[in-house]
A and B are shown apart, each in its own frame.
Chain A
Amino acid sequence: MEPAYLTPSIEQIAGLVVEKLTQGGKLADLANADLMTIEDETIEQVDQVTRVVINTLLRRQSDAAPPPRGCPKCGGGLCEKPPQARSLQSKRGRVHFKTDVHRCEACRLDFFPSDEDAAL
């Protein structure tokens, strides 16, 4: 874990969003922006941040998942396949991430590391 002085506070993160919006962003002309515009643009910007955060967390979770011990069906060996791209609609827009896939050639099934029961 990073030391506390390296962890940005909420105010610091918010400050970055403000800079992003006002310095050449959609609220560059802040003086003439009405409340609806400010609210919409802020939410859109923060939603983008939210999606990036979710993507990153999902990638980290995938990286941290233990490697599969063997095929859940037959117990045989699994070979690694290229990670599969996934896209899910979240409350804050679409999030994209990749999930590891392993294949059992004997069973002809693909398995996902965090779900030993699911096979496609």
Chain B
Amino acid sequence: MKTLRCDVDSEQTPAVLKKIVIASARDRSYATASRNLEDLADLKISAKQCQRIAIRIGTERLDEQAERIEAYCTASIPEQQHGQSADAPANDWNSRVAVVQCDGGRVQVRDKFWGKEKPKGPKHRWWRETQAAVLQTYQVQVSGSDPTPEVPEALRDPLWVIPRLNEIHRQHMASRRSGEPESDPSSDPEQSPQSVAVEQESLAALSGPKDRQTRWSGGDPLVKTIVATRRGYDQLGLALAGEAYHRGFNKAKLKAFMGDGLKVNWSLWATHFSHYIPITDILHALSYVYCAAVASRDRIEDGWTLYLQWLNWVWSGRVDLVITALKHQAAGQEEVGEPVRRAITYLSNNAPRMKYDQYRRAGLPITTSPVESAQKQISIVRETTVGIALFPTGRVQGDGAGKPSIISRTMLSPFSIFCRT
């Protein structure tokens, strides 16, 4: 009914539908969602009903996404870059910045060869890439001065930063080697339990007193929308551009497009978001810097000291100094080590997108943690349990104050996911 905003054939009120969809999207299976709804909300909804409702609402979200893509594609080029859809929210952009972040993830998907003999020829793999992006607004107070001129304690705390940088580095190396991510550290031959223990001891020795900092990347998060797909980066770009157009991001005085160093991210930026400020995620950059620093010294303590110096340069936007230092180091060696060579290439390619001091002054974030978190949610939490099926595309939406609520679970058979347990 139009007045009630409730379908005539619906068996639940909209408030209950919202709970069902949130539970179905957040929980690992429809059966779990059904149990949680009964235990936590006193709602008796069968797993099958959860599935039907989640798929119905998810399909509606996909239709909505298709409409937004259509609206974006039919707009003129100037309108695509400077306009917004008629139903865009009336935001006051004076103290807000608009940020788009994208990233790729990995999931294992059963295809038509599941349970059969694998095809001959190139090695058949179950890993597939998921493409996800976050559209986030931040509340900022632009003061003109750098709010965090000093490097945050977290980035100088080896116990905090080294595991994260190593994880990013491992993912890169694994992707380069085989196109597969290494989600389980124990599966890494270079990361035996013994070496982990030794590393932890070294980190503890390097670590000083703990002093957790306040937020150092961007302002206070406001509204977050997530767009995800498995149809490739072209589709992601369109979905992302359609969503940004719908949310009126073009009207923001300050807007940024963020990603890691992957080329395809910057292709998306050039195709749809060339009027946004491009920013490379600082943690990805630091993973290269750290590996190069450690590889440049015989002792890990000396490598750490060198990392701290280069970290200061990266933090203050003087990446050229790091590149010069790396090239100087490479010039004195007969054979340049892989970490140093890779760091030079990465930093040289991304240097124009690493003016972190300027970004902080403008109130822009410098890490892509929101989209990394979204990818983890998509890849790990929701797709590692028996019975979960993968839809070709998906979208989750937030409702402000940095507290996202998933309103759709867009997963379709026949792409069922491996069970890791």
**Cα distance A87–B8 when bound, in Å?**
11
**Cα distance A115–B1 when bound, in Å?**
5
**Cα distance A35–B137 when bound, in Å?**
44
Main secondary structure of the interface of A (DSSP, over half): strand
Q: How many A-B residue pairs have CB under 8 A?
A: 45
Within 8 Å by CB of B8, from A65, A91, A115, A116, lies A115
Number of B residues with CB within 8 Å of any CB on chain A: 17
CB <8 Å contact, A116 and B13: no
Within 8 Å by CB of B15, from A91, A99, A112, A115, lies A91
**Cα distance A95–B12 when bound, in Å?**
10
**Cα distance A44–B12 when bound, in Å?**
19
A118 → B minimal CB distance (Å): 5
Interface string of A95-120 (1 = CB under 8 A from B): 10001000000000000101111101
B368 → A minimal CB distance (Å): 37
* CB nearest to A65 among chain B residues: B3
Contacts of B16 in A (CB 8 A): 89-91
**Cα distance A30–B3 when bound, in Å?**
44
CB <8 Å contact, A99 and B1: yes
Q: At the interface, yes or no: A1 with Cβ under 8 Å from chain B?
A: no
**Cα distance A88–B10 when bound, in Å?**
7
Q: At the interface, yes or no: B41 with Cβ under 8 Å from chain A?
A: yes
Main secondary structure of the interface of B (DSSP, over half): loop
Within 8 Å by CB of B19, from A61, A87, A91, A120, lies A91
Contacts of B335 in A (CB 8 A): none
Q: What size tier do the contact residues of chain A reach?
A: 10 to 19
* CB nearest to A101 among chain B residues: B8
Q: At the interface, yes or no: B11 with Cβ under 8 Å from chain A?
A: yes
Q: At the interface, yes or no: B196 with Cβ under 8 Å from chain A?
A: no
**Cα distance A10–B184 when bound, in Å?**
56
A-B contacts besides A88-B13, A91-B43, A95-B13, 8 pairs, CB < 8 Å: A87-B11, A91-B19, A91-B41, A114-B1, A114-B2, A114-B3, A114-B4, A115-B2
Can you list 23 pairs linking A and B with CB atoms under 8 Å apart? A65-B3, A87-B11, A88-B6, A88-B13, A89-B11, A89-B12, A89-B13, A89-B45, A90-B15, A90-B16, A91-B13, A91-B16, A91-B19, A91-B41, A91-B43, A95-B13, A99-B1, A112-B1, A114-B1, A114-B4, A115-B1, A120-B8, A120-B9
Which residues of B pack against A, CB within 8 Å?
1-4, 6, 8-13, 15-16, 19, 41, 43, 45
Q: Which 3 A-B pairs have the closest CB atoms?
A: A114-B3, A115-B2, A90-B13
